[in-house]
Structure 1
């Protein structure tokens, strides 16, 4: 039996990395089993199906708690989009609504309908459940998380379902931005409004170059 999201959130700050990894892999295996049942609901009555779906969402919250996830700060996402467009030469697809924000995360509270999350604890890609459809998450990984990833990571080989990964990574004294699905990079009116504020973006870039860790907490 996995700990609840609130229980996991409490031991994250002083958590043992190996114990956290074991917990995440256990969650992933349990979710795989649940998904195989939910994908083939024949033989399940409505009550049993709803129970399994509720358990899947509980495990989703527990996984997010295990990586210390907080709702992604819009300014940090704006910086990621700015870096990614400059480095890739591609343009993000613009949505007609503002960047999704919500009060939650870091305290064991993870609304299932919110998808924009930022891990604050190191993790490996093989620990990420392969969520699909409405359960998929978009993870903005700051340098404090990506520092723990292999330097020669083969992004194309990642098997993480419909989840999206947006990562900020150190390169010497600067930052780079990459994603596992470049054709699914989106921007939003409020993100573009911030990017149009040249003074604000200059301050963000300077803070990022000076100390990504400081920037992380300044924008939250």
Structure 2
């Protein structure tokens, strides 16, 4: 999204609680990728509208998005997985600090390896994919079977800094990843079992409804 538009939308957002600002600061200082303020606000709005009772998240990071999703729907529960041990421990700490450990269950491990066990814990009303971008399609294929009919699958970063729209942009790492996400977007939009819309907000958010 255009930086001026992003700045404008960010200024319109309501004032956040101190714990939210602290987690955003922590993520910035530690270089942990989390959803930007406009993107997370949009995700929370979707959750407020749909009110999913059970949420599955691939990529806990420091627990920021899981906590914000519970903030959007306090009646929900979140099961989230993180493969980085340091971030996993940070997520546990942040969730316990907000006294949400009874609402958010964090699993330590690789989502590609833990799929069978996690899918067995379903069904879930919403799947949020925000982990290794090169594995998006694999995550979708593995975990979509755990989503209830009419449920949502939301994927973050599907416009990836503009590299999906302009694959000729020069960057040794981002260009290659951008092509992978572009391929994922094409596959997603053509998937007959889902109706998908890609919203150009934040770094791009795909919303897929299971038919």
> Which TM-score applies when normalising by structure 1?
0.28
Structure having the higher Rg: 1
Question: Which structure shows the bigger proportion of residues in strand conformation?
Answer: 2
* Structure with the larger RCO, 1 or 2 (CA within 8 Å, 6+ apart): 1
